[in-house]
Structure 1
Amino acid sequence: MAGIVACVLLSLVTMVHSQVQTAFMEYMQTRIGVLEERIAQWHDHSNRYSSELRDFKNQVLKMLENIEKEREAVRNEVENTNVRVDRLEREVDYLETQNPAPPCVEIDEKLTELHMNKKKKNEKYEKLTDCSDSISQVNAMKILKRYGSSAGLWTKDPIGNSERVYVLDGAGNDTVFVFPRMKEFTLSTSTRKAARIKLPFPWVGTGHVVYGGYLYYVRQGEEFQVIKFNLANKTVVDSAVLPIEDQVPVYGLSKHNFIDIAADEEGLWVIYATKENEKNICLAKLDSNNLGIEQMWDTPCPIENAESAFVVCGTLYVVYNTKLPSRSRIQCIFDVSGTISNENIPVVYFPKRYGSHSSMKYNPKERQIYAWDDGYQIIYKLSMKPKDELY
């Protein structure tokens, strides 16, 4: 009886074990099927991504090919432009050869005439206007901004109603910046708002002036030459070598200036110095029409420690300083009419100095000076009084 029970129990255990094994196998097969489906999905995704990557690569290659074609087209256009520019330059050169400058004979005759005018040196000057004012003091000063290099000049045309501001940056350059109004020059942080005028010859120094629509500037070659340049049509109207021999720097503290052209109520003047009179500054009246010298004077104003100068109503005012920064001051004058002398004038100081005035341009219309002081653009407003009140 006990053996029968044992056999039955053994059979039951064997049956249960078989059912558990079957269920486990079914479970494993189900999980393996799920894994196989996921592997198939991953494979499909991988194929799709590979296909999209190939398509993207092909698009990039086409874009690079198009860019290369466009670059080649731009390069061809640039080459064609260079060819056209070269052709234009040759045509301009041809036109210049067909319209040459006046022959040297005429220039020599002109220089001979100017040397004859040199005999008028130190004679009494016949005034063209009734201007009889003299500077009594610097009434106010306004610092506009700091722009450009330490040397340069900025100015306005005293003739006409133009509000343009002309900037010549540096003691040697060939590009004039023209701002439409003072506001644009003051507010602009660069030259983007300025028109550019390329000069045919580079200038030297800071002794240039804008007067009556023309830029009168100094060019250095074998000799110093004054160029009269029309700012409207951008052409050279006239040029002249002044009858001045063996020139030296006119200001002891501004070695880059050999000729300083100034404008006042009487017209244009030339401030210069020579080895013949190397200790004192000289002055000449310049004809703005033909660049001829009308009259010349030797002044008592020394070159040493001179910083800059300007002319007001036919009177030369020389500004002095020392090599160490200090206050600039008018310490010497020369009146071509002989009305006033150094003994009759007060010493006029300028309120502030950063380094050295590389240029001081008097505007007879506005009665103020446009100064360039170590890269700062400054306006000095002047107070005037009649010359006869200085006695």
Structure 2
Amino acid sequence: MIRTLQFLVVVLLCGLAWAQQQALMDYLERRLLAIEDRISLWHEQTSRYASELRELKQQMVAQLEGLDKNKEALRSELDSVGARVDRVEREMDYLETQNSAQPCVDVDDKLVEQQVTVVKERNKAKYAKLTDCSDMIASIKGMKILKRVGGTKGMWTKDMGSSSSGKLYIFNSTGENTLYEFSSVRDFTSSQGTSGATTVQLPSAWGGMGHAVYNNHLYYMKDGEDRQLMKFDLQKSMVVDSAVFPAKDPLPVYTLNPDTYVDLAADEEGLWAIYATKETENHISLAKVDPKTLAIEQMWDTPCLRENAEAAFVVCGTVYVVYNSKLPSRSRIQCVFDVSDMVTNDDAPAVFFPKRYGTHSSLKYSPLEQLLYAWDDGYQILYKLQMKKKLEV
């Protein structure tokens, strides 16, 4: 009896164990099926995402190809527009050369006659020429960009009165008192910036960009309201003379370069000063300066306006005023004045400078080389001048 009970207990326990095992197996099977469903769902979603990414990639590739085509088409159009602009510019240069605009401004003929009469009355004394120079500018023969040193405003020049000196002088900006001296143009072009140059310290800062180097002396306007003309010996490194420039109520001589009140220039005849005052009604004036004593020998009122003028220079006693626009375009010589009355605006040809970077801050004429030393937006440029003889009037 006891054994029978034990057997039954064993059978019951085995049945319970099998039932539990079966339930566990059923649970595990359901979990595996759920996992398989999730894996299947993941595969389906991954496949769909991969398909969408491929479609997106194809769309992006197509759009990029379209953008490349549009870019090439736009570039082609821009090249075409640039070519047309260059052609129009050449045609305008040709037309301006063939039919030059009226110099300076349109003024009533009676006013012009009155102005000329006033100028002649104020300068009855005939100018006594020091040389037999009778050249005038015919055209710009060539242009050479040497390098870029400095900022927008500046000036560079050689000694315009000494044939033995090949030294070059760099004046960067205005309101400074340190200039750079190079032994030659070649040394300047081969140098890195201003390295290798001899620095010259002036006892006072200069104002504007109207300096001149003449016969081993630097002539410059002292920075300040007193408008003092300084004469500095470059060999002895000392100021040897100074004088107050006799201009009442001075104005900037060029409206496009308002820092320059007196522009000193040298030519075959000697030293000149280009300036402006309120008395001359916005016209530019010219004075002959004695380089030894700084005395003003003679003064003239010119018909050339300050408005839109950027620079000027003197060749054989004739001042050439260069004009531009507030938005820099093409510089051109648009007004001339000859102290010996041998050249008039009607005689002077229309001279246009090659297209450059901005506006000339200074133009310095070298009578020994017949070159213009130009400063344009920090670039040092040489212009070769083509000359012809003046005509007697």
Asked if Structure 1 and Structure 2 have the same fold, meaning a TM-score greater than 0.5 normalized by the shorter chain, the answer is: yes
Q: How does 1:288-303 map to 2 (within 5 A)?
A: 288-303=291-306
Q: How does 1:77-226 map to 2 (within 5 A)?
A: 121=123, 123-158=125-160, 159-226=162-229
- 1:222 and 1:181 mapped to 2: Cα distance? 35
Describe the SS at the equivalent of 2:388: strand
Moved over 3 A (4+): 119-123
**1:98 corresponds to which residue?**
none
Deviation at residue 120 of structure 1 after TM alignment: 6.7
Identical-pair percentage: 57
**1:305 corresponds to which residue?**
308
Deviation at residue 222 of structure 1 after TM alignment: 3.9
Describe the SS at the equivalent of 2:334: strand
Q: How does 1:339-358 map to 2 (within 5 A)?
A: 339-358=342-361
For 1:69-92, what per-residue CA distance to the aligned partner results, in whole angstroms no more than 9, with x for missing partners? xxxxxxxxxxxxxxxxxxxxxxxx
1:283 counterpart (281, 286, 295) = 286
- 2:193 and 2:375 mapped to 1: Cα distance? 17
Describe the SS at the equivalent of 1:381: strand
Paired letter, 1:197? V
For 1:325-380, what per-residue CA distance to the aligned partner results, in whole angstroms no more than 9, with x for missing partners? 21100000000000110011111011122111000000001111000001110000
Paired letter, 2:364? K
Paired letter, 1:278? E
Q: How does 1:363-378 map to 2 (within 5 A)?
A: 363-378=366-381
Q: Which runs of 5+ in 2 are unaligned?
A: 1-120
The answer as to whether partners of 1:155 and 1:209 remain within 8 angstroms in 2 is yes
For 1:295-325, what per-residue CA distance to the aligned partner results, in whole angstroms no more than 9, with x for missing partners? 0000000100001000000000000011112
Describe the SS at the equivalent of 2:333: strand
The answer as to whether partners of 1:248 and 1:278 remain within 8 angstroms in 2 is no
Q: For the aligned residues, what is the CA RMSD?
A: 1.4
The answer as to whether partners of 1:325 and 1:353 remain within 8 angstroms in 2 is no
- 2:124 and 2:201 mapped to 1: Cα distance? 38
- 2:194 and 2:170 mapped to 1: Cα distance? 10
In structure 2, the CA distance between the partners of 1:220 and 1:278, relative to structure 1 (3 Å rule), is: farther
For 1:183-215, what per-residue CA distance to the aligned partner results, in whole angstroms no more than 9, with x for missing partners? 111121222200000000000100001000000
For 1:4-36, what per-residue CA distance to the aligned partner results, in whole angstroms no more than 9, with x for missing partners? xxxxxxxxxxxxxxxxxxxxxxxxxxxxxxxxx
**1:254 corresponds to which residue?**
257
**1:337 corresponds to which residue?**
340
- 2:259 and 2:190 mapped to 1: Cα distance? 30
Q: Which runs of 5+ in 1 are unaligned?
A: 1-118
Q: Does 1:244 align with 2:247?
A: yes
Give the TM-score, by structure 1 length: 0.68
Describe the SS at the equivalent of 2:220: strand
**1:265 corresponds to which residue?**
268
